[in-house]
Amino acid sequence: MDGFERVADVASVPPGTMLSVRVRGEEVLLANVEGNFYAMGAVCTHQRWDLSEGALEGTKVTCAGHGSVWDLATGKAVFDEPLEDLPVYEVMVAGGSVLVRAR
Ligand code: FES
């Protein structure tokens, strides 16, 4: 559990939903994809929209701002111009809590 911080109750992020949390001052997007949790930077590197306001489909998040599509597993985006990658974080579930490893 070295470096992991509790960020949410499992029950507060049902499958198919996302939540923006803070880990050591960084905005982190927590997503539940069919019971598997992912954590990626929450701020779109295009024009800084909050990705938790976007749409989750599988492991892809579409930004509500201008439609870039982010891969939760890699932190990479598909867009009509190159975008800087977002950080991805290790996630674990323990005792009903979701924990994210701070970078
Ligand atoms: S702010 Fe996300 S695509 Fe423009």
pLDDT 10s digits, 15-54: 999 999 999 999 999 999 999 999 999 999 999 999 999 9
Per-residue three-class SS string for 42-88: CECCCCCCEHHHCEEECCEEECCCCCCEEECCCCCEECCCCCCCCCE
Confidence (pTM): 0.95
CB distance 39 to ligand 1 below 6 Å: no
List, in order of start, the domains of the chain with CATH numbers.
Answer: 4-101 (2.102.10.10)
Report the length, in residues, of the chain: 103
Tokens of 31: 């997503």
CB distance 63 to ligand 1 below 6 Å: yes
Q: How far apart are CA 17 and CA 84, in angstroms?
A: 24
pLDDT tens profile 3-22: 899 999 999 999 999 999 99
CB distance 65 to ligand 1 below 6 Å: yes
Question: Distance from the CA of 11 to the center of ligand 1, in angstroms?
Answer: 29
